[in-house]
Chain A
């Protein structure tokens, strides 16, 4: 038995201005509970209503994306369900709030996420609005996202969306978590990390 050192974890959170963090499998009820907590926290932080609305909306889009991508059928085989886990953090840095999430994205979804991110990068607010309204009128397959999430996040953001895709090859830094390809992870899976500043 190892005593779990939460003190050092708290230090990391404090250093990075973390207000709320959740790590684990995301269900819809987790999203509802966490969302309620996020809102209450921001209200107690005396954030203006517009700001709270933006942080909450970015939280919902990220959390629902995270849940959708980690529901990948290819991740179902993992013995301990860890492939389905995601991490979501809400932090504050000076006058900005940061909503950040990290999760695995299966090989067949990687291109979709990259395209979605690329489609909003470099666009100004007017161009984002045009793209958003155009996409609102584009039919989508039932059960799939509307393809609007990243556009909505970019519109609410005060700085460009930051993201990274980490390839998970043998010997990668996540190996110690048992996430190597011979641990049952589908080849081509990446760890996707996105941060939105509001």
Chain B
């Protein structure tokens, strides 16, 4: 499977999904002009990847802001990971946030509430 790599823009996140290592990274900010258009191919890639992956998958997120339509897309993305987890894939989510931004932590905690897969919310210096 081809890796998936998208460079970040002012309002669109970087994506770096490596099928060999199972490390899937996203970072930056997410309020693109059309969130559904941006996230649809990412979710499609992930769905395909999870259907036959045999090693652990780590979703490493360093997104500092998501607008509401990106948040909705992110739920769809996390749903795919959760579905993979329930089918036996060793999935984990590590989501980093700036410790001075409590609001960012609340947003991530709200994501975590909806899932049973290992989901770490990790503070670090901004």
Q: Give the residues in chain A near B72, CB-CB below 8 Å.
A: 136, 140, 146, 148
Docked pose: A149 CA to B70 CA in angstroms: 11
A136–B75 contact, CB under 8 A?
yes
Docked pose: A64 CA to B66 CA in angstroms: 13
* A residues 99-139 in Cβ contact with B at 8 Å: 129, 133, 136-137
Interface residue count for B (Cβ, 8 Å)? 23
A31–B11 contact, CB under 8 A?
yes
Interface size class of A (residues with CB under 8 A): 20 to 34
A159 beta carbon closer than 8 Å to chain B: no
* B residues 97-123 in Cβ contact with A at 8 Å: 98, 100-104, 110, 114
Q: Give the residues in chain B near A35, CB-CB below 8 Å.
A: 10-11, 31
A32 beta carbon closer than 8 Å to chain B: yes
B71 beta carbon closer than 8 Å to chain A: yes
Write out, one digit per residue, whether chain A residues 159-197 have a CB within 8 A of any chain B CB (1) or not (0): 000000000000000000000000000000000000000
B69–A148 contact, CB under 8 A?
yes
Nearest 5 A/B pairs, CB to CB: A148-B68, A28-B33, A32-B10, A146-B72, A49-B101
